[in-house]
Amino acid sequence: MVDTEYCYRFGLVGWPLQFSLSPLIHKEFFRSTGLSGVYGAYSVSPEGFTETVSELLGSGITGLNVTCPHKPAAAGMCDELEGQARDLKVINTLRKVNGHITGYNTDVYGFSRFIDECNLPEPFFLTGSGSAALAADHVLHERCLEYELFCRDPGKWSGFTPARKLNELNDSLKHTGAGTVVNATTLGWKDDDIFPLDGSLLEGMVFADLNYSISWHWRNDLRHQGVNIFTGEAMLVHQAARSFAIWTGIMPGTAAVLEMTREKLEEMKKGSDCS
């Protein structure tokens, strides 16, 4: 039976945290499950991360999502790491119960659902070396899917598959006519970012951008070249649902929330086009 009397307190920490869809998503999760709760967004600098998160968890907040650049540091605050978080050593979800802090990585679940929901085809060309790339690498490896990994500094990569230099991606794509390029880098959050790839090589392929910025010019121009594009709001919603389930014990539905999220992004895009 759902306890509608208890008021949950959750939130998101990141830096900088100028905008996030997470509060809107979790508000809908609360509504759809009949639970009472609030979800705040907290901009926390790297220098003040440990102290601020300790204060937040000490104030009655029992669940926190963690985004860039804090995911590796958050793992160090945990008394225990669960599931894939033990392998990755980076987390995006904290849960505090009776003073005990447990860390989880729900990005793995989110990316796996993203692949299935968008029907992303093999082979995969994964780009990046941060926490999102590690989660995607974990999924592709565990599911025995065909993929290659490209990043700026292969020597610092700690995932399952060997890394190649990012500037080798063009050469690799010249020898394939199908598949999915996954952007797990931070490129795309700034409108004028340039991805180090000849866009003409993506004709007939899929570009899966784990970011969900509505106004990245380079990616948006790919549509005119016949490239099939998916953005990361599906991963965002599914990883959020998994976090919500960890905190409350109830897995919320995602279809309506994903539709709402896409409508919100489209609304923002129209507003941006008119400004």
Question: With contact defined as beta carbons under 8 Å apart, do 207 and 232 qualify?
Answer: no
Beta strands in the chain (DSSP E): 7-14, 36-43, 63-66, 80-81, 93-97, 100-104, 124-127, 147-151, 163-165, 180-183, 206-209, 228-231
SS3 229: strand
> What pLDDT is recorded for position 8?
98
Give me the residues paired with residue 246 across strands: none
Topology match between the domains 7-105 and 108-231: yes
Amino acid code (one letter) for 248: T
Cα angle, residue 193 at apex, residues 90 and 273 outer, rounded to 5°: 110
The reported pTM is 0.93
Mean pLDDT, the chain, rounded, equals 93
pLDDT at residue number 272 = 61
Closest Cα partner for 41 from 13, 70, 7? 13
> Band of the pLDDT at 275, cuts 50, 70, 90?
very low
Per-residue pLDDT of 129-158, as tens digits, reads: 999 999 999 999 999 999 999 999 999 999
Residue 4 has a pLDDT of 59
Q: What are phi and psi of 6, to 5 degrees?
A: -70, 135
pLDDT band at 230 (very low <50, low <70, confident <90, very high): very high
How far from the centroid of its chain's Cα atoms is residue 241's Cα? 12
Fold of 108-231: Rossmann fold (3.40.50)
Given a cut of 90, whether residue 219 has pLDDT beyond it is yes
* In the chain, where the domains are located: 7-105, 108-231
273 has a pLDDT exceeding 90: no
- Sorting pLDDT into bands at 50, 70 and 90, what band is 50? very high
Mean pLDDT of the region 63-90 = 93
Burial 212-229 (b: 16+ CB within 10 A, else e): bbbebeebeebeeeebbe
Identify the CATH assignment for 7-105 out of 3.40.350.10, 3.40.50.10860, 3.40.50.2000, 3.90.15.10.
Answer: 3.40.50.10860
CA distance 211 to 230: 10
Q: Which uninterrupted H or E stretch holds 74?
A: helix 71-75
Mean pLDDT value of segment 190-198: 94
**Edge-to-edge strand ranges of the sheet holding 36-43:** 36-43, 7-14, 63-66, 93-97, 100-104, 80-81
